[in-house]
Each structure stands twice: as structure tokens, then as C-alpha cells.
Chains A and B, each alone.
Chain A
């Protein structure tokens, strides 16, 4: 079982739609959680951190459910420019190490 699992999609949605991505993680000791965005042939870039209380940044809302080990990302009023791969990321701990573990990503295609 992968440490971080995501639905690979693709999600094809019309402009203006609301779309939600889900992610589960296996290590209950994980402390930090993120959503990254990756455009085609580009590097991943931090979209937002995810906090237990949930957090919102404009049209984007991230939620964390520690009990279910579940993370979500909601995009409202989607734009063409939101088309990208969205990566769920968990910071793993092991002894003195902490490292980011990436899901394989969910591809979003926003259609005009």
C-alpha cells in the first residue's frame, strides 16, 4: 500500500465548477500536510499547507481529518488556469528524519 494515495483522475470539469480532491495517508504519526500543484513539464509548487482546523485561500479550501487520515482540497469557481496536477503531500517522520512523501497526483482539466 502506498503511503499517500490519491485518485489519479483525470477530472474534467467545466469552468465555474466546484471540484474536490481526496487523499489518504497511512502513517498516523504524520504531522504536516500540504497540497502542491504541478503544471505540465514544470516543478511542483506549494499550493497550500493543510491544518487540522481547515484553511482557506481564496477559491481553495483544504481540510484534514486526522482520525480518518484523510486530506481534501476543494476548488470553487474553477478557472482554465487551474488545470494542472494536484499532489497530496505528507511530511513523514522516521528517527531524526523528516521528509515529504508525495501522492501520485490528481490531474484536473478545466474545460471552457
Chain B
């Protein structure tokens, strides 16, 4: 069961273009995490929201990345302008309950050329 939907699944874009990634918890959720995964760094936490407010975005390059959560059914991660080094898989995740870890979306595979 897909508790978290991420779109798009794949995105190829040219350097300098804006990229917007969406995360939609199926049942709505006030806590959402954004992770980035690369071969070199593994899974890195970019930002997370609790009660739809940003609690920690220290892992996110502030000059080009922004994250918002306008309501409990939608979180967005935007990169403007995109750079080739942003190429990665971006996952969002929601808590599944106390001590039960998180459920991840299927990710957005971003390639910036």
C-alpha cells in the first residue's frame, strides 16, 4: 500500500532550470522528512516538517533549495536553479508510529544535465 506518493518519479532537466518535487501522504500527515540519496553520500536528511512547520532544514543548501508544506496532504521541495551536483534520488518519508521508523515514498530520480 502506497502511503506516500511522490511525483515525478523521474526528472531530467537542464542546469539552471527550476525543479519541483511533490510528496503526498495518502492519509495526510503533519510530519514529513526529505532525504537525498547519492552513491557517495548515501541518505542525507535535507529538511523536515512537524505540524507543517519547518523544524530542521540544516541539511539543505539554502541558496537554491526550498521546502514547504502548505497542508497535511502536500509537501514540496524546490531547487532553483538546479545544478548537475543536485542529481540524486530524493525521498520523502513519514513516521509510521512510535518506534516503527518511517515509510518512504518511491522517490524522485533527478538528473540535471
A86 in the interface (beta carbon within 8 A)? no
Q: Using an 8 Å CB-CB cutoff, how does the interface string of B82-113 with A read, 1 for contact, 0 for none?
A: 00000000010100100111111111000000
Complex Cα distance, B104 from A21, in Å, reads: 23
Residue pair A49, B106 in contact (C-beta under 8 Å): no
Instruction: List, in ascending order, chain B residues with CB within 8 A of A99's CB.
Output: 33, 45, 48, 56
Q: Is B42 touching A104 in the complex (CB atoms < 8 A)?
A: yes
Give the number of chain B interface residues (Cβ < 8 Å). 21
Report whether over half of chain A's contact residues are helix, strand or loop; otherwise say mixed: strand
Contact of A43 among B45, B96, B106 (CB under 8 A): B106
Kindly state whether residue B15 has any CB partner on chain A within 8 Å: no
Interface size on A, residues (CB 8 A): 21
B-side contacts of A96, CB under 8 Å: 55
Q: In B51-76, which residues have CB < 8 Å from any A CB?
A: 55-56
User: What residue of chain A has the Cβ atom nearest to residue B41's Cβ?
Assistant: A104
Q: Does A80 contact B (CB under 8 A)?
A: no
Could you list 10 examples of A-B contacts with CB < 8 Å? A43-B107, A49-B100, A87-B42, A96-B55, A97-B48, A97-B55, A99-B56, A102-B35, A102-B43, A104-B41
